[in-house]
Amino acid sequence: MKIFRFGLVLIHVFIIVLLSGTVLNDYVSPKVFPYLNLLSLAFPALMILNFMLCFLWIILLKKRALFFIAITFMMISPIRRWINWTDKTVEIPNLKIVTMNVKGGSIGGYEKIYDYLEKTNADIIFGQEYGSEFNIPNYPYRTSNYRTIAVNSKTKILDQGKLESTGKGIAFYADIQFKGKIIRVVNVYLNPFSFDKQMVKPVENMEKNKTKIKDVIKKLVPTFKIHQQQIAVIRKAIDHSPYPVILAGDFNSVPNSYEYYHLGKGLNDAFVEAGRGSSTSFHDYKFPIRIDYIFSSKEIKPVSYHVDRSVKLSDHFPVIAEFKID
């Protein structure tokens, strides 16, 4: 029995090491060592295992429980990017943002998608994978055709520009006049992994599962490196912006990844600041994940954040956030 418990301790330590490794994504780029970014994908499963083992040590009344619980508390920030528990704010918002990957209208149909988005009464709507058009009724200001992403705004768009990048991903910025101020919005659709559902669906044959894992990694690693190139271009539009920034879209990356750390650097994650519950937004696979985000500059304070799971018009749920701009 002692040997078994010792084995569990070693496993628990190994899990903690892997969880801690996700922090290194802030410092180590995919071009240097892409496999660190894989840990961000495993973070929820690893954390669940960590909680289960902590609970086991508590039941067994082992002092080591205190050590592992203390380590877990040190990971509060990474955890809150997945599940959060902020108190409701008394601030009154004056800016509403919606971002949604519409999947080319292939699931909900454009008529229903447009109707839903219009009823959100958002000031600015970000769309990704919109197909041939993204023209929501009663939104007079629209960005030019940037292939797969667009912004519809109730207020005037003063300037806009495509952020050139490699791969299938795309991003652009638009400077929008809002309540006597100008804000820069950056719409992001990082290079997709283009997984087929069957590729990530486990089967009974273990050899086939091993082959599937190898195939998945072959897709992940090159895409991580493409993301790094795309992020470098996007960061220039953020870092050199003369105006406060709202960054939103489909990052095709999970929290605690290289993409999360570097796209969000110097910005507030609206979910962490004002969200409650789960942040997961992509629901096409058995394991829901968070790949849709809204970030903002310090001058734009997040007041509320909501993933609207009441509608299934796409394989992504719409993400809605409200802000206070003084």
Say how far apart CA 305 and CA 318 lie, in whole Å: 11
Cα–Cα distance for residue pair 210/269, rounded to 1 Å:
36
114 vs 211, more confident: 114
pLDDT band for position 3 (cuts 50, 70, 90): confident
Q: What is the pLDDT of residue 197?
A: 60
Q: How far apart are the first and last CA of the chain?
A: 62
H or E element that contains 165? none
**231-264, pLDDT tens digit by residue?**
999 999 999 999 999 999 999 999 999 999 999 9
Task: Choose between 111 and 326: higher pLDDT.
Answer: 111
User: For residue 130, what are the contacts with CB-CB under 8 A and spacing of at least 6?
Assistant: 102, 104, 105, 148, 149, 150
* β-pair partners for 159: 175
Residues in the chain: 326
What pLDDT score was predicted for residue 201? 62
Q: What pLDDT is recorded for position 209?
A: 62
Q: What is the mean pLDDT of residues 23-49?
A: 95
> Which of 168, 325, 304, 135 shows the shortest CA–CA distance to 244?
325
pLDDT tens-digit map of 65-90:
999 999 999 999 999 999 998 887 77
User: Per-residue pLDDT for 107 more than 60?
Assistant: yes
Query: What is the predicted pLDDT for the residue at 324?
Result: 96
pLDDT at 101: 96
pLDDT (tens digit per residue) in 191-234: 998 766 655 566 566 666 677 677 778 889 999 999 999 999 99
Residues 86/276, Cβ–Cβ less than 8 Å = yes
- Across the chain, mean pLDDT equals 92
